[in-house]
Amino acid sequence: MASAEHFKIFKEAKQHWNDWRKSDPGVRPDLRSADLLLICIDGYNLSGALLQKAAFDHSSLEGVSFQNAELSRSGFQEATVSRCDFRGAKMAKSRFVRAFVQSSDFRHSDIHGADFSDATIWNCNMQDADLLECNLEHAQMVNTNLRRANLTDCKAYGSSTWDVDLDGAVQDSLFITLHGSDGVFIDDLALAQTVNLLMNGGGSSGLLKALSARIVIVFTPMSGERSPLIQTIKQTARERGFFPVVCGFSGRDAGIRQRVLSRLSQVSRRVIIDAVEGQVFVREIQEGFGNCLDARLAVPAPPQDLDQGMSQSQGALALENRIRWMIVVDTTDLGSQLTEFLR
């Protein structure tokens, strides 16, 4: 709980609070779990303060210093945050849902597990910040610096990025399908919108068609021990100029799997299946993928194996648009197999 004395000083006036901070810099303000809803906190010096579970929801915060503050599980839902300093702050699992955040500095902060869903992040500096497992669903990020930030395992469904600097950022396994469904993952936040557009049949333009030719779908049962294998496949694909899109099936509802397969059938002509754990998974994917395709996108087959009921023109289209499969049953000589497959 917050210190009653500290909370009383905070409520008196900004100038009184900031003068107190200057006169006694050795004191670490304790405002844990404080209710600071619907108030104006512009210009307060909260650097180094204990603010775990504090609630700033619906408040106005301009020019506030949170440098090196403890803000884990704090709330900024629907708050207006402008020109604030969060450098070095510990903000794990904080909530910025529907917040408007502009011109604020998050460099070297620990924001892992935070919820930025439906937030607007404008002209912010998040260089070297840790955003591991953050929720960025439907967030808008504009003119924001994410250089060397850690975005591993972020939820990015519906997010949009404009003029975002991702140089050196770690972007491993970004989740771009609806939360709770079987997962589709990519390793580039800037491509999230484009891949989703392709999955929903928006690949008509020449640019999108060219991009889809460089995408590789990787199916995996999502077992933890398979992670090194998937990392090898993704790295090799990137080295060969391809964009890996990983689809992890967790054995959930068959209808969900069917919808995911149907969407992925629009994205790429190259498919890799992690079948180290068994052929049942291979059959499920091949049958499901094949059932989602029309004659123009037929599963590959030698000419002599094409359905005899298919017309000659349909057969030509099927071969031209065929999907190339690579089934990984063991990791022996995997590198050379991938290199050959991705020619």
- Counting the structural domains of the chain, the total is 2
pLDDT at 326: 81
Whether residues 40 and 144 fall in one domain: yes
Identify the domain boundary among 121, 144, 167: 167
Whether residues 102 and 180 fall in one domain: no
Whether residues 149 and 222 fall in one domain: no
User: In terms of residues, how long is the chain?
Assistant: 343
Whether residues 155 and 22 fall in one domain: yes
The amino acid that residue 199 corresponds to is M
Which residues, in sequence order, are CB contacts of 48 under 8 Å at separation 6+?
28, 29, 67, 68, 69
Whether residues 241 and 161 fall in one domain: no
pLDDT at 254: 60
In the DSSP assignment, the letter for residue 105 is B
Q: How far apart are CA 227 and CA 274, in angstroms?
A: 11
DSSP string over 113-167: T-B-TT-EEES-B-TT-B-TT-B-TT-EEES-B-TT-B-TT-B-TT-EEES-B-T
Whether residues 320 and 302 fall in one domain: yes
In the DSSP assignment, the letter for residue 300 is P
Whether residues 179 and 283 fall in one domain: yes
Any idea what the CATH number is for the domain that residue 188 is in? 3.40.50
Q: How far apart are CA 36 and CA 226, in angstroms?
A: 46
- Sign of CA pseudo-dihedral 261, 267, 270, 272: negative
Whether residues 186 and 149 fall in one domain: no
Identify the domain boundary among 123, 145, 167: 167
Whether residues 114 and 99 fall in one domain: yes
pLDDT at 329: 75
Identify the domain boundary among 167, 194, 220: 167
In the DSSP assignment, the letter for residue 298 is P
Whether residues 141 and 17 fall in one domain: yes
Q: How far apart are CA 143 and CA 184, in angstroms?
A: 26
Helix (H, G, I), strand (E, B), or coil: what is residue 98? Answer: coil
| CB atoms near residue 234 (< 10 Å) | 23
Asked whether 270 and 210 are in contact (CB, 8 A), the reply is no
pLDDT at 310: 34
The pLDDT tens digits along the chain (343 residues) read: 679 999 999 988 899 999 999 999 889 999 999 999 888 899 999 999 999 999 999 999 999 999 999 999 999 999 999 999 999 999 999 999 999 999 999 999 999 999 999 999 999 999 999 999 999 999 999 999 999 999 999 999 999 999 999 999 999 889 988 755 567 888 999 888 878 777 766 655 666 667 777 888 888 876 655 678 888 899 999 999 999 988 876 655 566 666 666 667 667 778 888 877 665 566 666 665 554 443 223 333 333 333 333 333 333 333 344 667 787 877 778 888 888 888 8
Asked whether 156 and 135 are in contact (CB, 8 A), the reply is no
Whether residues 179 and 145 fall in one domain: no
Q: Which domain holds residue 305?
A: 172-343
Q: Burial, 228: exposed, middle or buried (Cβ in 10 Å; 0-12, 13-18, 19+)? A: exposed
Any idea what the CATH number is for the domain that residue 152 is in? 2.160.20.80
Whether residues 162 and 305 fall in one domain: no
